[in-house]
Structure 1
Amino acid sequence: MAGNENGSARATKLAWVVGVGALHGTGAAVAQRFAKEGLTTVVTGRSPERLAEVVRAIEAAGGAALAAPGDVTNERDLIDILARIDSIGSLEAGVYNAGNARWAPTLELDSTTFEDAWRVCCFGGFVFGREVARSMLTRGRGTILFTGATASLRGRPQFAAFAAAKAGLRMVSQTLARELQPQGIHVAHVVIDGSIHGEKILTRVPELVDRKGPDGLLDIDAIADAYWYLHQQHRSAWTHELDLRPFAESF
């Protein structure tokens, strides 16, 4: 990793991506995209092994990265990771990509599952956004991005837990945008409307790839390009909410 953690590398610009799992997944693709543009990228997720794989891929491509394992539902984990980031340099972009899509008929949905979905998708996003904003406000600049879903906008049968959690995250994002944008912090919410051509789909429901066809799934690198685009927007024309979906997807 470029620089060090003793305060001598204050010029280092960083991006922090939370919710990084498989190398062929959205979080990893976003981390790689920001690293490609010269930001030292900090990746957070629950699996140290998977984070190490992402860091190796970024370094092999000539970028700089740091693995920071943690649990997004643990407030102390997020605060401690951010303190480490602030000791390295300036946090320019924070991306909250954590999620745990679970679905079941509402009458069969237990309260623990419902609460777990909320803690990952909404509570963690709140803590992340609050703490990242505190760091960025000292410099009066930065981008905070939240990954949403179709469920952010509407509830469907069997989606009570996920939809409630993602809708809550969307409201957190809107609130932060209205509070922070006048102070120079760009906050955006990205609605991922469709299935993603990543490891989860390829391993859990591979038949969906054939059913959807070549244009029916979101490409992870195209998603990552959209996140970088949001970060690069001129402040005279900021986007708060961006929908991403395959052109063949109905909506």
Structure 2
Amino acid sequence: MSRSSAIVVGVGAEVGLGAALCKRIAREGYHVYVAGRTLAKLTQVVEAIVDAGGTAEAVVADTTQEADVLALFDKAMTPRDDIAPPDLVVYNAGNNRYVPFTELSAADFESFWRVGPLGAFLVGREVARRIAPSGGGTLIFTGASASLRGKPGFAHFASSKAGVRMIAQSMAREFGPQGLHVAHVVVDGGIDGERLRQARPGVIAERGENGLLNIDAIADMYWTLHRQHPSAWTQEVDLRPFKETF
């Protein structure tokens, strides 16, 4: 029998959400296409999966570039005897930083837009074209609290994440009746991964036990979404530490 497969877009550091998603999916016997911009980081994730007994391959792709997205799906959808076409795709690409509104350049604003709704559109469109016609599959978008509200200094990020959320909602309404499960995950709070630990070394002590989102716990929810019965699909779910205010 051929092995099921999945695409995870937006994989960076090995101790990060993208990597955790790849490892979680691989544990279920899936072959994972590990997609991101930096080959060295992708290779680390692939090696960790292989060392654990799974299978994966790195695909260097910038999701803001249409040609890269098309090439990624061409690779994943090419018929193989041992690996089935993907039935799970995760759009996890994102970037975030504080920039006062009056200091925000057009180039910076556009860069967030490209990683957010543009990249989500390009990936979502290929899922709609290539996977939805099969009558099944799952597409999950990673969101944030900024998907729901804007805060001072984060207009660029909030508008980007809100755009991704609207794409998820529109796709769910259009392709859900065809059997494609489209879900949006609002990750509300700091993620306990390499990026935040490096940026704010004291954050663990500051937040306390379970004050940050555990990456493996987040990944478990993504897998749960993929395995939901079609009579009880979740379109949006929010995840946050028990002590996070909202």
Which of 20, 25, 44 is matched with 1:29 structurally?
20
The residue number in structure 2 matching 1:129 is 124
The aligned residue for residue 153 of structure 2 is 158
Task: After TM superposition, give the deviation of residue 102 of structure 1 in Å.
Answer: 2.4
Please state how far the C-alpha of 1:214 moved relative to its aligned partner: 1.0
The code of the aligned residue for 2:184 comes to H
Residue 186 of structure 2: which of 184, 191, 211 is its match? 191
- In the alignment, is residue 177 of structure 1 matched against residue 177 of structure 2? no
Superposition TM-score, scaled by structure 1 size = 0.95
Q: Runs ≥4 in structure 1, deviation > 3 angstroms?
A: none
2:111 partner letter = D
Matches within 5 A, 1:6-155: 11-87=2-78, 88=80, 89-155=84-150
Matched letter for residue 69 of structure 2: L
Deviations 1:32-57 (A, max 9, x none): 00000011000111110010000000
The C-alpha deviation readout for 1:58-100, integer Å capped at 9, x for no partner, is 0011111010011010011011110110014321100000001
Structure 1 residues 167-176 or 137-146, which shifts more? 137-146
How far apart, CA to CA, are the structure 1 residues paired with 2:169 and 2:201?
A: 35
- Identity in percent: 51
- Residue 208 of structure 1 deviates from its aligned partner by 1.4
Count of paired positions: 242
Quick check: 1:103–1:161 contact (8 Å CA) kept in 2? Answer: no
Q: Which residue of 2 aligns with 1:4?
A: none
8 Å CA contact 2:133, 2:178 repeated in 1 = no
Question: Match for 1:143: what amino acid?
Answer: T
CA distance in 2 between counterparts of 1:102 and 1:221 reads 24
Give RMSD over aligned pairs: 0.9
SS at match of 1:21: coil
* 1:15-46 deviation per Cα after TM superposition (whole angstroms, max 9, x unaligned): 10000000000000001000000110001111
Match of 2:236 among 233, 241, 246: 241
SS in 2 for 1:115: helix
1:222 corresponds to which residue? Answer: 217
Alpha-carbon distance between aligned partners in 2 of 1:105 and 1:202, rounded to the nearest angstrom:
23
Specify the SS of the correspondent of 1:215.
Answer: coil
**Runs of 5+ consecutive residues of structure 2 not aligned to the other structure:** none
TM-score if structure 2 supplies the norm length? 0.97
State the Cα deviation string for residues 156-195 of structure 1 (Å, max 9, x = none): 0000100000000000000000001000000000000000
Give 1:216 deviation, angstroms.
0.7
The letter for the 2-side match of 1:92 is D
C-alpha distance in 1 between matches for 2:129 and 2:31: 20
SS at match of 2:18: helix
SS of residue paired to 1:235:
coil
**Displacement after TM superposition at 1:121 (Å):** 1.3
